[in-house]
Amino acid sequence: MATNRTLPFKDMGGCSISGVMDESGRRFSGEEIIRSIRNMHERSNGLGGGFAAYGIFPERADQYCMQLMFDTPEAKRETEALLDERCNVHYAEDIPTRPHEAITDEPLLHRYFVSVEPDKSRPHLDENDLMVELHMEINTTIQDAFVFSAGKNMGCFKGVGFPEDIGEYFRLEEYEAYTWIAHGRFPTNTTGWWGGAHPFSILDWAIVHNGEISSYGINKRYLRNFGYECTLQTDTEVIAYLFDLLIRKHGLPLEVACQAMAPPFWEDIERMPEREQAQAKAIRAVYGGALLNGPFAVVVGSTGRMIGFSDRTKLRPQVCARGGDRLYIASEEAAIRTICPDPDVVWHPDGGEPVVGELQAGVQVA
Amino acid sequence: MPNWLIEPDFVVERDPDRCIQCEVCVRQCANEAHEFDEELQEVFTDSTRCVGCHRCASLCPTDAISIRPAELEFRPNENWSAQAIRNIYKQSEQGGVLLTGMGNPEPLPIYWDRMLLNASQVTNPSIDPLREPMELLTHIGSKPQRLEFSGGETPQLETTLGPQLELHVPVMFSAMSYGSISYNASEALARAANEVGTYANTGEGGLHEDLRQYAGRMIVQVASGRFGVDVDYLNSGAAVEIKIGQGAKPGIGGHLPGEKVSADISATRMIPEGTDALSPAPHHDIYSIEDLRQLIYAIKEATRYRKPVGVKIAAVHHVAAIASGCVRAGADFVAIDGYRGGTGAAPTMIRNNVGIPIEFALAAVDSRLREEGIRQDAGLIVAGSFRCAADVVKAIALGADACYIGTAALVAMGCHVCQKCYTGRCNWGIATQDPYLTRRLNPNIATRRLVNLLESWAHEIQEIMGGMGINAIESLRGNRDHLRGVNLTDRELNVLGIQMAGE
């Protein structure tokens, strides 16, 4: 894909993350997740905060909701011309915000509910492929326009500020979702840029991440083979793209995809039963470019699912809890107990071990 | 007629107060630089015969011998260097091609020294490899772009992977034939590869019957002379490498003189005793890429698709396109040998002037294969002067799966890089077939030294990776973000695909 912008390199930082999923599909307001992430205020430095919410647009659940930021009206006009050319825009509006004393230099924030028609000249591409292509094209070719998210029945809300202030600014208490994930950022070498806050998203995948991906250089090159361009000044982006590649495009089962990104050590593989060992060897040999190295803990949202996992040696904190129908994953136990004082169970998953929340059988979310 | 124009490279000095006239130096020097005069009962030295291999000085029991460069200075001239003048003296004396051994010694840029590595500070913890796992295990072979799993409760792998080489250290012993090096040296390389869990390459000289027990950790080479090649040979090794070219002498063949073709070498190479072993410049059944494909598949058929079959090429101008062609022709790995790669014998003009640096070749090939989406179809091995563990780390960060070492392995066995391998008078018993000299190399000791070398490099690679906060080599491979350039132009940075220090 042609690009007329220099593609920046990753930044680094520590962070706070929190995620809550109601596996019964019951939707709840953003007030709780704001309270949870506020509890970890010390883990961020006011240079970025953000949220992803699933199930928030049930009335338009079959359309992609593109949430974008624009630094200039020209970028908005250029993007809208591209959207008109590529897809059907069913509805568009400003993303609702409220004036907030802690939030300044806001970009233009707009959302579009769209659908795409199959491209007759390229029948091998389905609507998701076309949406990824559109997402990448806006981010790489239109100066001053950035896609926050472009998935169905979900949205990302993010910006420069402490996460609790960002949540209030975006009036998240007015939305109801069955999964909320949140992030407070402590970047160490980047200027405050709204596009650089977490979550990072592609289609309905959204990722919040605490850590640094030391393997970023090769993950980025590996993903480029498959048409993904990393453009957002952060290493977190590669995790979102890897989930999309491994699960949606390669069709790997979730546990295999997680194993590719945080595989067991060879010494553990040597002790596995024969069939399992052959499988683990093949995954490492084939998906070496997808291995995520360095300290990280992430929470990944997608339709009907929330996944937490960390690097193989667990160099960043991650605590999980269950209470009633809800699964909680956070950087600190306090961030869970502030919204769920008496959980049924609290545990610390091993490094590389995925924790998966899924909607209960038969639950419809749209 | 005296060779009055041949001047010594070295001056050998003997301290008369220390020398005890024991004649060790006389017996050790196959170049006959030292001579015992029966009448005078004294050892004399002819410095013009000294190659600077230090054998006599190393074994002198009283440290009586020192060797220094001959200080016979020409009038300073940047254009007509002493080397250029002396080469003409030699050629006008003998009327032949200038011959030499080892890799290119010319003062051309060494790009490894212009790339620096990264380490973690604050935002990312570095890892102590003595306390945490630090994984170097490397698989070389063709890999599918994706794996298929069957559905159901526990996913079952449906894809079968092709044959893979498994390396515990991403460093292998480069192709050095039995013939160019001694049997003891070949045995030490084979045994060390087995002990460490890497591979030794037979070179084009076949595989001696007694070394077949180590062949599970050997790559058997098929070169233009097809010496020692039969179906048992192909099936004896872990992989087969088709040698198209060599970094020290791209585009030309080889010549093992008949006097080196002893009974043992004759049996191993499957040629009559005492005949010259001539490797043609091209393979006479490969005149284009489609012919290469036929040979690759002929070998795959002969080995029942159980062995990776690779291709070794010299790094020349269009190396990226050539490597891409090899991969598309079915190579399971491509080995690229840079212009500083070593040799037992090569014409000096070719060695010093043909080919391109391995650093650029590697960067270009890795990028090209990725652009074409075929990088996973083949392993990428690089050769052409890896001097230390840092060179290996830099190569892997540029995109290599593993490195071949030749000279470094010989040095571990005692080689002093005197560049006289082609004379057959290697005083260290490595590049010679003279039984008087070969028995100087004890294969047990040489094996231990090679194992020590690879283990020490492995420790150093682990330390460097730990500093970067990376605990698996697949996260270093092709990760050019961990390299920064110094003393490089924009164009050089661009070809290497790395950023400038400070960026």
Chain B residues closer than 8 Å to A279 by CB: 156-157
pLDDT, tens digit, 9 for 90 and up, residues A319-344: 999 999 999 999 999 999 999 999 99
Chain A residue with the nearest C-alpha to that of B122: A13
Residue in this structure with the two tokens 């390459």, named with its chain if needed: B201
Chain B residue with the nearest C-alpha to that of A186: B123
Please state the pTM of the whole predicted model.
Answer: 0.91
Chain A: give the shortest CA distance to residue B134, in Å: 9
Residue in this structure with the two tokens 């269009």, named with its chain if needed: B318
CB contact under 8 A, A283 and B147: yes
Higher pLDDT, A211 or B2: A211
**Residue A11's pLDDT band (cuts 50, 70, 90):** very low
Could you tell me the CA-to-CA distances from A172 to A33, B53, B175 in Å, in that order? 9, 78, 66
pLDDT, tens digit, 9 for 90 and up, residues A80-138: 999 999 999 999 999 999 999 999 999 999 999 999 998 889 998 999 999 999 998 99
Chain A residues closer than 8 Å to B164 by CB: 285
Chain A residues closer than 8 Å to B481 by CB: 9-10, 216-217, 220
CB contact under 8 A, B146 and A250: yes
Chain A: give the shortest CA distance to residue B141, in Å: 9
**Closest Cβ–Cβ partner in A214, A279, A284 for B157:** A279
Chain B residues closer than 8 Å to A289 by CB: 474, 478
Please report the sign of the dihedral spanned by the C-alpha atoms of residue B303, residue B365, residue B498, residue A212. Answer: negative
Helix (H), strand (E) at residue A177: strand A176-177
**Closest Cβ–Cβ partner in B123, B475, B482 for A291:** B475
CB contact under 8 A, B479 and A217: yes
| Predicted pLDDT at A14 | 63
User: What are B136's two structure tokens?
Assistant: 């170097």
How far apart, in whole angstroms, are the C-alpha atoms of residue B432 and residue B440? 11
Structure-derived torsion over alpha carbons of residues A346, A349, A355, A360, reported in degrees to the nearest 10: -30
| Predicted pLDDT at A232 | 64
CB contact under 8 A, B476 and A218: yes
How far apart, in whole angstroms, are the C-alpha atoms of residue B421 and residue B415? 10
Q: What is the ipTM of this complex?
A: 0.88
How far apart, in whole angstroms, are the C-alpha atoms of residue B21 and residue B467? 54
CB contact under 8 A, B480 and A217: yes
Substitution target from A186, A214, A219 for chain B, most B beta carbons within 10 A: A214
Q: What is the DSSP letter of B175?
A: P
**Residue A7's pLDDT band (cuts 50, 70, 90):** very low
Helix (H), strand (E) at residue A286: helix A274-286
Taking each helix axis as running N to C, give the angle between helix A254-261 and helix A236-243, from 0 to 180 degrees, rounded to the nearest 10: 150
User: What are B271's two structure tokens?
Assistant: 């040629």
Residues of A annotated as part of the active site: 15
CB contact under 8 A, B478 and A253: no
**Closest Cβ–Cβ partner in A13, A212, A266 for B135:** A266
With a CB cutoff of 8 Å and minimum separation 6, the contacts of B67 are B10, B11, B12, B13, B50, B52, B54, B57
| Predicted pLDDT at B245 | 96
The region that residue B384 occupies, defined by phi over 0 for left and psi between -120 and 50 for alpha, beta otherwise, is left
Q: Domain residue spans in chain A?
A: 13-356
Q: Are A319 and A330 in contact (CB under 8 A)?
A: yes
CB contact under 8 A, B472 and A295: no
Domains contained in chain B, CATH given: 10-96 (3.30.70.20), 164-500 (3.20.20.70)
Chain A residue with the nearest C-alpha to that of B143: A286
Substitution target from B121, B146, B375, B503 for chain A, most A beta carbons within 10 A: B146
| Predicted pLDDT at A192 | 74
CB contact under 8 A, A265 and B133: yes
**Closest Cβ–Cβ partner in B132, B147, B478 for A218:** B478
With a CB cutoff of 8 Å and minimum separation 6, the contacts of B199 are B165, B167, B172, B173, B193, B217, B218, B219, B238, B239
Write down how long chain A is: 366
Fold (topology level) of A13-356: Glutamine Phosphoribosylpyrophosphate, subunit 1, domain 1 (3.60.20)
Chain A: give the shortest CA distance to residue B118, in Å: 10
CB contact under 8 A, A286 and B376: yes
**Closest Cβ–Cβ partner in B144, B161, B470 for A214:** B470
Digit-by-digit pLDDT tens for chain B (503 residues) are 456 777 889 999 999 999 999 999 999 999 999 999 999 999 999 999 999 999 999 999 999 999 999 988 899 999 999 999 999 999 998 899 999 999 999 999 999 999 999 999 987 889 999 999 999 999 999 999 999 998 777 889 999 999 999 999 999 999 999 999 999 999 999 999 999 999 999 999 999 999 999 999 999 999 999 999 999 999 999 999 999 999 999 999 988 889 889 999 999 999 999 999 999 999 999 999 999 999 999 999 999 999 999 999 999 999 999 999 999 999 999 999 999 999 999 999 999 999 999 999 999 999 999 999 999 999 999 999 999 999 999 999 999 999 999 999 999 999 999 999 999 999 999 999 999 999 999 999 999 999 999 999 999 999 999 999 999 999 999 999 999 999 999 999 999 999 999 99
**Closest Cβ–Cβ partner in B137, B151, B469 for A294:** B469
| Predicted pLDDT at A233 | 61
| Predicted pLDDT at B425 | 95
Chain B residues closer than 8 Å to A285 by CB: 139, 143, 161, 164
**Closest Cβ–Cβ partner in B164, B375, B469 for A285:** B164
| Cis before A199 (ω within 30) | yes
Chain B: give the shortest CA distance to residue A224, in Å: 8
CB contact under 8 A, A293 and B470: yes
CB contact under 8 A, B478 and A283: no
Which residues of B have a CB under 8 Å from any CB of A? 120, 122-125, 127, 132-133, 135, 137, 139, 143-144, 146-149, 151, 155-157, 159, 161, 164, 370, 373, 375-376, 468-472, 474-482, 499
CB contact under 8 A, B147 and A188: no
